[in-house]
Amino acid sequence: MTTDVSNLGGRQAGGALAVELTGLEGLKLPRKSWFPRSTVIRVLSPLILLVAWELIVRIGKVGEIFLPPPLSVLRVFVRLTADGTLPYAIWMSFLRTGQGFLYGSLLGIIVGLFVGWSQIIEDIVDPLVAAIYPIPKSALFPLFMLWFGLGDPSKVVTILVGVLFLVLINTVTGVKTLNPILIRAARDLGASERQIFLKVVLPGALPNIFTGLRLGAGIALILVFVTELEATNSGLGYLLWESYQLMLVQQMFACIITFGILGILSTWFIQWLEKVLCPWSTTVTRQ
Amino acid sequence: MENICAIRNLTKVFFVERTGEYVHALDRIDLDLNRSEFLILLGPSGCGKSTLLFMLSGLDHPTSGEITFTEKSHDNKRLTCTVFQEYALFPWRTVIDNVAFGPEMRRVRKRARYREAERYIELVNLTGFETRFPNELSGGMRQRVALARALANDPEVILFDEPLAALDAQTRRVLQTELVSIWSKTKKTFVYVTHSLEEAVLLGERIVLMSSRPGRVKEIIDIADIPRPRSTTNEREVKVLAMLAEHIAAEVDKSMRREREL
Ligand SMILES: Nc1ncnc2c1ncn2[C@@H]1O[C@H](COP(=O)(O)OP(=O)(O)OP(=O)(O)O)[C@@H](O)[C@H]1O
Ligand SMILES: [Mg+2]
């Protein structure tokens, strides 16, 4: 009797458990609760905060110029979305962040894998990383403007460098903490050095690579804001800064909230990617 | 009895870079492996059993002496495969992809290597668990996967380095029985390192007794004639056990005395 394994696509709940459960009828077993208490509380908590915020401003204890009521922020948010201002700003910021993040993380993963794998490459790269890593990456932005001009490239490169180091360091950790017996087992099963690199080192480092990507996404958002304060008239950071200078408080809040939403979306995206690419990882199963 | 591998005058000295010391792990080992035998390596801790397996696997080289297999490896096919105490399964691969790892490295097509893997998964009684990840399995099941993975690579010799040492007594018993049955079904040569005298007597055809460091072959006991299934309470088995115990006690004593002198 052989199973056609090509059809075993999805993850089965391998029979054993279901079998053990028969014959337990009549016992009082714990049941899945119908009331999603945790979810309800999690939705209520920010809602109550918003209501309180609205009330406090309405009652007039705080000047609207410092803290506009949520509803008026929402109104401005809708207007800015409808007239295209916000979508355009988001798109411009997304292009800069996306490019910087993509190139930075690819470079970080590739260099990180080699650094973790080869002592010689580590000896070459490590002192450079140690020297550059502690510099706040926003401090490099003026230098990059000098080198790459006032346009987008200097912003992209700043983001790239910020992401690169975080991904690189975490990738190296991933390779270094890989259990050496796995490499030995792969070699014992006939894997070539190249195959070990691609089929053992890379997947083995993936959970750490994802830690780097998560941190990198955070720094990318910070850096896109910082770099858009200067030498541009587009992007979310620019819009926020302009709102401040024109004292458009509602618009400021709309931008801040948008930054928050983008942060959440990028986190979700990376979590989703991790679930797809490393379904075995404990950080995935814990979520 | 067909000779499958000859170990001649094998000596291994490790150099510990950190301290600059030399460790004389194996000393002039002479040993022949017969085709399809179940060979046990038994000896006190640190006598070089794992080192000997490592040399046999070809992943490390002796300081002097040689290991010659009668078969020659072709198409990158490995002559040996190791089952480790720590299972050493790839956590990111499902059971079937772990088992099919060896064929995959030799670029066997997916369909063919899955068919092969499925055969061995069935042999180790894990049918139904193909799509599980190792961290979803018990220790005993993981070791079955590791065994299937070694078998699926179709080596001449399977090397076991204390494969059951981390398991509970119950699971160990079950797996010992299955090991013997798989050994007789597959006709592979098993070289099996263990600390357990009972295990040596329950499983082995020949027991190689090694002396404490530097590891030497002290004695080879042939127990192939003890009928199976074996039990640790039969007369013959009890006798062999007593003999092994005496030997091990003497070796451990010797190595402890030496350590005290150092
Ligand atoms: N890579 C190494 N570098 C230096 N010394 C080593 C190395 N590997 C093993 N040794 C030494 O060689 C000796 C034999 O080690 P080995 O692991 O083969 O013993 P063993 O018989 O398997 O012991 P155990 O039963 O505890 O597993 C030990 O003294 C060990 O410290
Ligand atoms: Mg050992």
A91-117+138-278 — its CATH code? 1.10.3720.10
What chain B residue is nearest to A191 in terms of C-alpha separation? B105
Residue A13, helix vs strand vs coil: coil
The answer to whether residue A256 scores a pLDDT higher than 90 is yes
Q: pLDDT tens-digit profile of A205-214?
A: 999 999 999 9
Q: Look over chain B and give the mean of its residue pLDDT values, rounded to a whole number.
A: 91
Q: Which of B85, B96, B99, B105 to mutate to test the interface with A (most CBs of A within 10 A)?
A: B105
**Percent of chain A's residues with pLDDT above 70:** 90
The answer to whether residue B18 scores a pLDDT higher than 80 is yes
Instruction: Report, in angstroms and rounded to the nearest whole number, the Rg of chain B calculated over CA atoms.
Output: 19
Q: Is B122 on the interface with A (CB under 8 A)?
A: yes
Cβ A280–B96 below 8 Å, yes or no?
no
Find the mean pLDDT for residues B84-99. 96
**What is the Cα–Cα distance from B50 to B194, expressed in whole angstroms?**
10
Phi, psi of B193 (to 5 degrees): -90, 130
Find the mean pLDDT for residues A89-99. 96
Q: pLDDT tens-digit profile of A23-81?
A: 777 777 777 788 888 889 999 999 999 999 888 888 877 777 888 888 999 999 999 99
Q: What is the DSSP letter of A28?
A: -
For chain B, the three-class secondary structure string (H helix, E strand, C coil) is CCEEEEEEEEEEEEEECCCCEEEEEEEEEEEEEECCCEEEEECCCCCCHHHHHHHHCCCCCCCEEEEEECCCCCCCCCCEEEEECCCCCCCCCCHHHHHCHHHHHCCCCHHHHHHHHHHHHHHCCCCCCCCCCHHHCCHHHHHHHHHHHHHHCCCCEEEEECCCCCCCHHHHHHHHHHHHHHHHHHCCEEEEEECCHHHHHHHCCEEEEECCCCECEEEEEECCCCCCCCCCCCHHHHHHHHHHHHHHHHHHHHHHHHHHHC
Residue A182: its pLDDT value, please?
97
Residue A284: its pLDDT value, please?
54
Higher-confidence residue of A171 and A16: namely: A171
Greatest CA separation found in chain A? 78
B3-71+156-261 belongs to which CATH class?
Answer: alpha beta
Taking CB atoms and a 6 Å cutoff, what residues make up the pocket around ligand 1? B 14, 16, 23, 25, 45-51, 213
Give kind and range of the element (H or E) at residue A228.
Answer: none
Q: Six-digit token pair at B180? A: 């013997």
> Any idea how long chain A is?
287
For residue A90, what pLDDT band results from cuts at 50, 70 and 90?
very high
Buried b or exposed e, range B143-169, using 16+ CB within 10 angstroms: bbbbbbbbbbbbbbbbbbbbbbebbee
- Nearest-CA distance A110 → chain B (Å): 20
Residue A26: its pLDDT value, please?
76
Pocket test for ligand 1, best of B23, B161, B212 (most atoms within 8 A of CB): B23
Residue with tokens 């209501």: A51
The answer to whether residue B143 scores a pLDDT higher than 90 is yes
Which residue is closest in CA terms to ligand 1's atom 2?
Answer: B14
Residue A1: its pLDDT value, please?
40
The answer to whether residue A7 scores a pLDDT higher than 50 is no
Q: Six-digit token pair at A198? A: 């691609």
**What is the Cα–Cα distance from A178 to A113, expressed in whole angstroms?**
12
Find the mean pLDDT for residues B219-244. 89
The answer to whether residue A271 scores a pLDDT higher than 70 is yes
- Identify whether the C-beta of residue B99 lies closer than 8 Å to the C-beta of residue B120: yes
- Identify whether the C-beta of residue B146 lies closer than 8 Å to the C-beta of residue B124: no
In the reported structure, the alpha carbon of residue B24 is separated from the centroid of ligand 1 by a whole-number distance in angstroms of 9
Residue B243: its pLDDT value, please?
87
**What is the Cα–Cα distance from A211 to A283, expressed in whole angstroms?**
10
**What is the Cα–Cα distance from A42 to A40, expressed in whole angstroms?**
5
**What is the Cα–Cα distance from A78 to A120, expressed in whole angstroms?**
56
Residue boundaries of the structural domains of chain A: 91-117+138-278
Q: pLDDT tens-digit profile of B111-120?
A: 999 999 999 9
**Percent of chain B's residues with pLDDT above 90:** 73
Cβ B59–A187 below 8 Å, yes or no?
yes
Q: What is the DSSP letter of A279?
A: T
Residue B214: its pLDDT value, please?
86
The answer to whether residue A3 scores a pLDDT higher than 60 is no
pTM of the model: 0.85
Find the mean pLDDT for residues A108-131. 95
Cβ A280–B92 below 8 Å, yes or no?
yes
Which residues are CB-contacts of A243 (< 8 A; sequence separation ≥ 6)? A249, A251, A252, A255
Residue boundaries of the structural domains of chain B: 3-71+156-261, 89-155
For residue A283, what pLDDT band results from cuts at 50, 70 and 90?
low
In this structure, how many other beta carbons lie within 10 angstroms of the beta carbon of residue A8? 16
**What is the Cα–Cα distance from A140 to B233, expressed in whole angstroms?**
77
For residue B262, what pLDDT band results from cuts at 50, 70 and 90?
low
- Nearest-CA distance A264 → chain B (Å): 27
For residue B253, what pLDDT band results from cuts at 50, 70 and 90?
confident
Q: Is B51 on the interface with A (CB under 8 A)?
A: no
Exposed (0-12), middle (13-18) or buried (19+): which is A17, by Cβ within 10 Å? Answer: exposed
Find the mean pLDDT for residues A117-143. 94
A25-29, B58-62, B212-216: the lowest-pLDDT one = A25-29
**What is the Cα–Cα distance from A231 to A156, expressed in whole angstroms?**
13
Find the mean pLDDT for residues A74-103. 96
Residue A21: its pLDDT value, please?
63
- Nearest-CA distance B135 → chain A (Å): 8
In the reported structure, the alpha carbon of residue A185 is separated from the centroid of ligand 2 by a whole-number distance in angstroms of 15
Find the mean pLDDT for residues B43-60. 92
Higher-confidence residue of B229 and B180: namely: B180
